[in-house]
Structure 1
Amino acid sequence: MTNRTASHKLTLWQKVIYGSGDWSLSSFTTIRALLYTIFLTDVVRLNPGLASFSALIGTAWDAINDPLVGAINDRVRSRWGRRRPFLLLFAIPFGLGFLLLWWVPPTDSQALKMIYVTLAFMITDTLHTLVNVPYLALVPDISRDYDERTSLSGFRVLFNLLATLVTAVAAPTIVDEVVRSGASSQQGYLLVAALFGGLATIPFLVIPLLIKETKTALDEPEKIDLRKMWAVILRNQPFLYVTGFYSLTWIAFDLVTRMLPFFAVYWVGEGDSLISRPLFGQDFALESLAMGGLMIVSLVSIPLWTTLSARLGKKKTYIIGMVFWIIVLSMLMFVKPGQVSLMLILSALAGLSVATASILPESMLPDAVDWDEYQSGERNEGLYFGAITLFRKLSGAFAGFLALQALNLFGYQAPPEGVTVWQQNPSALTAIRWMTGPFSALLVLAAIIVAWFYPLTRQQYEEIRAALDARQKPRSPSEDANRFLS
C-alpha cells in the first residue's frame, strides 16, 4: 500500500489541461446529439421506429460496459496510476471511432441498415466509455477540496461548452456547404467526423503526461461482482438524488438538441434543409446559429453561476437555473414559421440554464463519492463515475428514442434523396413543436422536484471531508455517517 498526499493544490494550468479533456467528450456527444437523429432519418433513410430501437439496443450494452469499465479501472495498479494508462491507450481509437457513426452502408435493406447502425453505436460507445470513465474518475484522485472540485468542474464545463459551441456551429454549416458544392450529405458528415475525431485524440494524450494522480492507500482489489457494484451504488443516498435530477436534466437537453434540426428546418424554415443566415460575411445553418447563441451565453454565464453557488449553495442555484429554463422552453410554442429572430433569441436565453445544468450536478458527484467513503471506508470513484456515465448515456438514448418514436408515430416523412426543400406533414410538425418545447419543460420540472430533496449541504460535506482527512487508516469505516443525512 502507498500513502496519499492529503493536501494537493492544483495549478491554474493543471486545471485548464484537465478541463480540456471535455473538449473531446463534448465534440463527440454534440455531433451525435445534434445531427445523428436527422442523419439516420434523412441520409441513412432508416425508418424512425427502427432507428429508435437501435439506440436502445446499444444502451443495453451500456448497462454492462460502463460500470464494468469503472470497476476494472479501479483495479488497475501501475506506476502511472489507475486512470492515466486508459487515456493513453484508448485516445487514438476513440478518435477513429467518430468515422464509424457517419458512414452509410451501401444497401437498401432496412434490416441491414439497422444492424450496422446498432453495431456502430455499440463500438463507438465502448471506445467513449474507455476514456470517459477514467477521465471523470480523475477528479477525486487529484483534488480533495470542495471548492477546488467546483473549479475543476467549471473548467470542464468551459471546454465542454466551447467544444459544443464550435461543433454545433461548424458541423451543420460544413455539411450544408459540402451539399451546396455538389457533393453528398454523406460526404459532408464524414468530413465533419474526420475533423473532430482527429482533434478529440489530442487532450487525452496530453492529460496523462502533465497531470499526476496523488498516491492513495489502496488494498488489493476484490473480484468484480456486478451485483455488488449495483448494491454499492444503491446504498449511496446523495448519489441517487444527484443521478435523478442529473438524468432528467439531460434527457430534456438531449431531447431539445435532437429535435432542434427538425424544428429549425421543417417548422421555422418551412422545409428548407439549407436554411441559413449570414453572420460576419459567412452563411451559417440556422441550427448552427441557434446552438451557437446558446453556447456563447452559457460560456459567459459560468462565472455568474459559480459565484451564485458559492453564496447560495449548489442546490438552490441549480433550481433557480432550471426554473428559468422551463419558462424559455414553454415560449418555444409561440414561435411561428419564418420567425428566425425569435427562435434565436430564445435559444440564447436557454444558454443561461444550460450552464447551470452543466456545472452544478457534476460538481456534486465527487461529494457523493466522499460521502460513501465516509460511510463505508471504501473509495469507489471509478465505479460511481462509470455508473454516472451510464446514466448520462441512458439519458441520451432515451431522449433519442422519444424523439424518433414521436416522429414515427406522427407520420414523419423523409425527403426524397437529393431534395433540399420538403414540406413536412402537419401531424409531424405538431409533434416536433411539442417535443421541443412543453414536453421538455415537464422533464425539467421533474428534475427540480428531485433536486429539492437532495440531502447533502456544504456544512455536512465539510464535516465529512474533515473526518476523512483526519483518518489514519482510509479503510476504517464510520458508524455515524447517517447522522449527516438525518
Structure 2
Amino acid sequence: MNLPETAKLPPIEKMTFSTKLAYGAGDVGGAVIGILLLSYLSPFFTDVAHLAPGLAGATQLIVRVWDACIDPFIGIWSDRGDIFGAKIKAKWGRRYPWMLFSAIPFGMLFVCQWLIPFPESNQWGMFWFYTLVSMLLGTFFTTYSLPYTALTAELTEDYNERTSLNSFRFTFSLGGSIVALLIARTVFQQVNDPAQQYLTIGIICAIISVLPIFYCVWGTQARAKLVNQYQSARIERTDPSPLMEQLRSVFTNRAFMCVVGIYLCSWFSLQLTAAIIPYFAVSCLGLPTADSPLIILAVQGTALVMLSVWNKISQRVGKKAVYFMGSGFWAIAQAGLFLLQPGQNVQLYALAILAGLGVSTAYLVPWSMLPDVIELDELETGQRREGLFYSFMAFLQKICLGVAVAVVLQSLEWTGYRHPTDLIPTPDQPPAVLLAIRLAIGPIPTISLLAGLVFAYFYPITRELHQQILLQLAERRRES
C-alpha cells in the first residue's frame, strides 16, 4: 500500500494518568462478572442447582448465540449515536449513554443468576429460568461492554499509547478478576451451604462491578470530547449502509481477519481452560473446591505482573513479536496440564505461572491491534466503524465460547458425570469423564494456541505502516 509520508498530524496532547486510570477502571465490572460466570456458572448449575449437564450446556449455548446476534446491532447503534433506534443527546457522546443505561440492571441480573428458584425435580423450570436471566444479563453486559471497549479508538490515535491504554485496562481487568477469585475463596471457606456461597459471592461482586462504570464515564468524558473534536470530520461519517452489507465488507479486511483469528484462538484457550479448571482440580487432581480459585489466581496474578513488562517489550519489538513470545510459553503450559497427576501441586502451580506469561498477551495484543485495524478500514472505506468491529469480535467470541462450553458439558453427561451429594461431596468419576476433562484442559487449548500463531504471522500492520495510515487520514481531513 503506497501511503504519502509528507502529511503531518495536528498536535494533540498525550493522555493523562488520571484518564488512563478511569478508563482502566471501566473494565472491572466485566472482569469480575466474566471470571465468575466463566469459572463457576457451570459447577453451580451441575453441582449446586443440580441441573443436568446437558441442559446446563444448552442454556449457555442459547445465551451465547443470543448475545452474538445482538452484538452487531448494538455496535452499529452506538456508532450512530442511537439507543435501540432512538437518537441520544450529542453532549453525552456516542458511547456513554449505553454504559450508564446498563450499569444497574447489569448488577441486579448478576445476583439473579445465582438463585435456585425451583427444586431439582423441575429441570425444565430451572432451564428456562436460567436461560431467561442469562439472556437478559448478557444483553446488559453487551450494552455496557461494547461501547466501553470501542472507546479505545476514540481516546487516542497513537500506536504505542493504545498499547499503554490497554495495559491500564487489563491491569484493572486482571486485578478485578483476582479480587473476585479471592472473594470466592473466602466465601467458600466461611460459608458452609453451597447455595448461600454462590449467592453471597454474587451480591458482593455485583456491587464491586457496577460502581467503576460510573467512575469511568466521569473520568474519561473530557478526553473523549477532545479527541472527538479532533476527529470531527471523520466521526460524523458513520456507515449508513445495511448491517449485512457492512458485515460483508469486514470479511475483505485481511488485517481484521488476522486479529479475529488471534483473538479467537487465544481466548478460546483461556475460556475453555477457565471453565474446566474447577472440574479438573476436584475430579482429576483430588483438590478441595476452595483450591480451584488459587489455580486461576496463579494464572491471573502472573498475567497482571507481566502486562507492564509486555507493554515495554512491545514498544521495542512490536505487538506481533510479543504475541509469539507469550503464546509459546502458554502452549507449553497447556500441554503440560494434560499429564498432571494427583499430588503434583508444585508442577501444577509452575504450569499456571507459565501459562500466565502468555495469558497477559491474550489480553493485551489483540485489543491493541484492533484500533489500528479500524483506522486502516477508515482509510479504505471512508467510514468510522468502531462499534461494528468491536461487536463482530464479540460476536465470534461468544459463539465460539458457547459451543465450547456446551460441548464440554454435554461430553460430561455422555460420559456419565456424577453429581456431588450431601453424602458424597466429591464422588469418584468414571475414567471416560476424567479423559474428557483432561482433553478439554490440555490438547484442545494447545492446538488452538498454535493456530493463533499462524494468524499472528500473517498480521500486516507494523508501527511504520500505522503511522503512514494516520498521516494519510490527517491529509484527507485537511482536504475535507
TM-score where L is the length of structure 2: 0.90
Q: How far does residue 439 in structure 1 lie from its aligned partner after superposition?
A: 1.8
Following the alignment from structure 2 to structure 1, what is the Cα–Cα distance between the partners of residues 99 and 385? 19
Structure 1: unaligned runs, 5 residues or longer? 275-284, 477-486
Following the alignment from structure 1 to structure 2, what is the Cα–Cα distance between the partners of residues 365 and 326? 23
Cα deviation code 1:173-226 (max 9, x no counterpart): 4134312xxxx2111111111111111111111122221223223447665622
Which residue does the alignment assign to 1:395?
Answer: 400
Which residue does the alignment assign to 2:248?
Answer: 231
Worse-superposed segment, 60-69 or 351-360: 60-69
Q: How far does residue 109 in structure 1 lie from its aligned partner after superposition?
A: 2.1
CA contact (8 A) 1:8 1:144 kept: no
SS at match of 2:151: helix
Q: How far does residue 273 in structure 1 lie from its aligned partner after superposition?
A: 4.4
Which residue does the alignment assign to 1:261?
Answer: 278
Following the alignment from structure 2 to structure 1, what is the Cα–Cα distance between the partners of residues 344 and 65? 40
Aligned length: 456
SS at match of 1:82: coil
* Aligned counterparts, 1:446-457, within 5 A: 446-457=451-462
The structure 2 residue matched to 1:320, chosen from 317, 322, 325, is 325
Q: How far does residue 417 in structure 1 lie from its aligned partner after superposition?
A: 4.6
Which residue does the alignment assign to 2:212?
Answer: 203
Structure 2: unaligned runs, 5 residues or longer? 1-8, 82-88
Cα deviation code 1:348-406 (max 9, x no counterpart): 22111111111011100101101100111110001111222222323332331232122
* Aligned counterparts, 1:1-80, within 5 A: 7-76=12-81, 77-80=89-92
CA contact (8 A) 2:282 2:426 kept: no
Aligned AA (1:358): Y
Following the alignment from structure 2 to structure 1, what is the Cα–Cα distance between the partners of residues 423 and 375? 55
* Aligned counterparts, 1:234-245, within 5 A: 234-245=251-262
CA contact (8 A) 1:273 1:420 kept: no
Following the alignment from structure 1 to structure 2, what is the Cα–Cα distance between the partners of residues 418 and 316? 52
CA distance 1:220–1:453, change in 2 (3 Å): closer
Counting aligned pairs with the same residue, the percent is 33
TM-score where L is the length of structure 1: 0.89
The structure 2 residue matched to 1:374, chosen from 366, 379, 384, is 379
Worse-superposed segment, 133-142 or 86-95: 86-95
* Aligned counterparts, 1:471-482, within 5 A: 471-472=476-477
CA contact (8 A) 1:298 1:353 kept: yes
Cα deviation code 1:291-337 (max 9, x no counterpart): 11112211211222112212221112101211111111111133211
2:195 pairs with 1:186 = yes
CA contact (8 A) 2:63 2:135 kept: yes
Following the alignment from structure 1 to structure 2, what is the Cα–Cα distance between the partners of residues 417 and 112? 23
Following the alignment from structure 1 to structure 2, what is the Cα–Cα distance between the partners of residues 101 and 374? 43
CA contact (8 A) 1:7 1:144 kept: no
CA contact (8 A) 1:248 1:395 kept: no
The structure 1 residue matched to 2:138, chosen from 125, 138, 154, is 125
SS at match of 1:25: helix
2:339 pairs with 1:349 = no
2:309 pairs with 1:304 = yes
Following the alignment from structure 2 to structure 1, what is the Cα–Cα distance between the partners of residues 326 and 351? 15
Following the alignment from structure 1 to structure 2, what is the Cα–Cα distance between the partners of residues 139 and 6? 19
2:423 pairs with 1:411 = no
Following the alignment from structure 1 to structure 2, what is the Cα–Cα distance between the partners of residues 472 and 426? 64
CA distance 1:196–1:345, change in 2 (3 Å): same
Following the alignment from structure 2 to structure 1, what is the Cα–Cα distance between the partners of residues 73 and 140? 13
CA contact (8 A) 1:8 1:142 kept: no
Which residue does the alignment assign to 1:278?
Answer: none
